[in-house]
């Protein structure tokens, strides 16, 4: 549990549309760039090499933004796990949950589904705790057909293990947008978003702190009434996790009505809402680590240009493994 009784956000999967794995040539390119940057330096051991790399290499060379699809944990609920979406990152979260069982963590899960497209639920068949008869799993959604979607992807034609073989106890709960509810001491509110088969954003509030999870949401420049609604929904948030899959040019031309948003809209909305931090999320699967890092840098520069006399907005770029304390 976070020491200050706030919230701790862990990113287990940050890609959009489908998981990606970097090919061998991409990894070899990272190694080659690192060797060139090292310039023949000698290191006594791996720890020394790691320390030098952290201080001297750009993140896209030394690290990676990862390849798992959407899954974000919000630690801060009393005696339970709080998790947004069930993308392929859910598998690693499940492995870590077993580790925390050994430390005495309760076997209670609350999932919050943005929507039911495959990249956001595909990790569930590989979620180990679902096979634990001692686990209780609550699945919160704005979709009345959430259970149908999870069961359907485990039909025999698609997956060898049927849903009914899972041993955990399940409860599906459908919520209405704009009606706050309590989960383990955290206040949760849904917001309707523009996306195929509908999508829902979530606002999590605890002890005066707020985290927004808003992915797979298209923001149209000609709908200012809708934007005013999201400004209110994001108001004073300590962290906004935002779908920044496309460039602004893509969202108004080639990929209009594809159900996603841009880094530019993210900054503008967060400034208007007086949010404190923005995490770029749901990264385009065709982007390399260098592409994502370049987009992050461009977003920081854009924020500096449009800030004017407003407080600075901290712009983070989510990656698999990132932790943000609220």
Which structural domain range is residue 225 located in?
A: 8-21+64-325
Same domain, 147 and 38: no
- Domain presence at residue 1: no
Does 1 have pLDDT greater than 50?
no
Q: How do residues 155-170 score in pLDDT, each as one tens digit? A: 999 999 999 999 999 9
Same domain, 39 and 73: no
Q: How do residues 10-51 score in pLDDT, each as one tens digit? A: 999 999 999 999 889 999 999 999 999 999 999 999 999 999
- The answer to whether the beta carbons of residues 66 and 87 sit under 8 Å apart is no
Distance set, CA 170 to CA 110, 122, 150, 160, 209 (Å): 10, 17, 12, 20, 29
- Domain presence at residue 290: yes
Neighbouring residues of 157: CB distance < 8 A, sequence distance ≥ 6: none
Structural tokens at position 47: 């720890």
Does 250 have pLDDT greater than 70?
no
Same domain, 52 and 103: no
**Number of domains forming the structure of the chain:** 2
- Domain presence at residue 273: yes
Nearest alpha-carbon partner for 269 in 290, 292, 248, 253: 248
- Domain presence at residue 2: no
The model's pTM is 0.93
Q: How do residues 88-131 score in pLDDT, each as one tens digit? A: 999 999 999 999 999 999 999 999 999 999 999 999 999 999 99
Same domain, 48 and 169: no
Same domain, 14 and 35: no
> What CATH number has the domain bearing residue 134?
3.60.15.10
Same domain, 32 and 176: no
Same domain, 88 and 143: yes
Same domain, 29 and 105: no
Same domain, 54 and 158: no
Q: Cα–Cα distance between 87 and 17 in angstroms, integer?
A: 10
Give the H or E element holding residue 257: none
Neighbouring residues of 295: CB distance < 8 A, sequence distance ≥ 6: 244, 247, 263, 280, 287, 317
CB atoms within 10 A of CB 288: 16
Same domain, 93 and 30: no
* H helices present in the chain, as ranges: 24-38, 46-56, 59-62, 90-101, 146-152, 224-233, 248-252, 263-273, 289-306
What's the mean per-residue pLDDT of the chain? 92
- Domain presence at residue 3: no
- The answer to whether the beta carbons of residues 175 and 147 sit under 8 Å apart is no
Same domain, 118 and 191: yes
- Domain presence at residue 254: yes
- Domain presence at residue 177: yes
């Amino acid at each position: 549990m976070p020491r200050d009784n706030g919230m701790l956000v862990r990113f287990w999967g940050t890609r959009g549309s489908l998981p990606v794995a970097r090919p061998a040539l991409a990894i070899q390119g990272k190694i080659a760039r690192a060797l060139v940057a090292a310039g023949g330096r000698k290191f006594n051991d791996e720890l020394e090499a790691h320390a030098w790399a952290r201080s001297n290499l750009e993140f896209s060379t030394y690290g990676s933004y990862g390849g798992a699809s959407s899954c974000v944990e919000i630690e801060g609920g009393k005696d339970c796990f709080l998790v947004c979406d069930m993308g392929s990152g859910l598998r690693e979260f499940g492995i870590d949950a077993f580790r925390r069982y050994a430390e005495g963590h309760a076997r209670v899960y609350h999932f919050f589904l943005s929507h039911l497209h495959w990249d956001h639920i595909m990790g569930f068949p590989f979620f180990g705790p679902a096979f634990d008869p001692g686990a209780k799993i609550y699945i919160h959604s704005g979709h009345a057909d959430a259970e149908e979607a999870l069961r359907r992807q485990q039909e025999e034609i698609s997956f060898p293990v049927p849903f009914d073989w899972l041993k955990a106890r399940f409860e599906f709960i459908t919520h209405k947008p704009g009606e706050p509810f309590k989960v383990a001491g955290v206040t949760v509110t849904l917001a309707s978003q523009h996306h195929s088969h509908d999508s829902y954003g979530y606002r999590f509030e605890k002890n005066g702190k707020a985290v927004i999870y808003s992915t797979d949401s298209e923001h149209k420049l000609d709908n200012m009434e809708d934007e005013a609604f999201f400004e209110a929904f994001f108001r004073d948030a300590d962290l906004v996790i935002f779908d920044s899959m496309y460039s602004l040019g893509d969202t108004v031309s080639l990929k209009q009505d594809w159900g996603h948003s841009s880094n530019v809209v993210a900054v503008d909305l967060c400034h208007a809402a007086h949010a404190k931090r923005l995490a770029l999320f749901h990264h385009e699967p065709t982007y390399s680590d260098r592409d994502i890092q370049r987009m992050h840098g461009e977003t920081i520069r854009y924020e500096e240009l449009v800030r004017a006399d407003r407080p600075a907005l901290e712009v983070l770029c989510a990656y698999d493994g990132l932790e943000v304390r609220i």
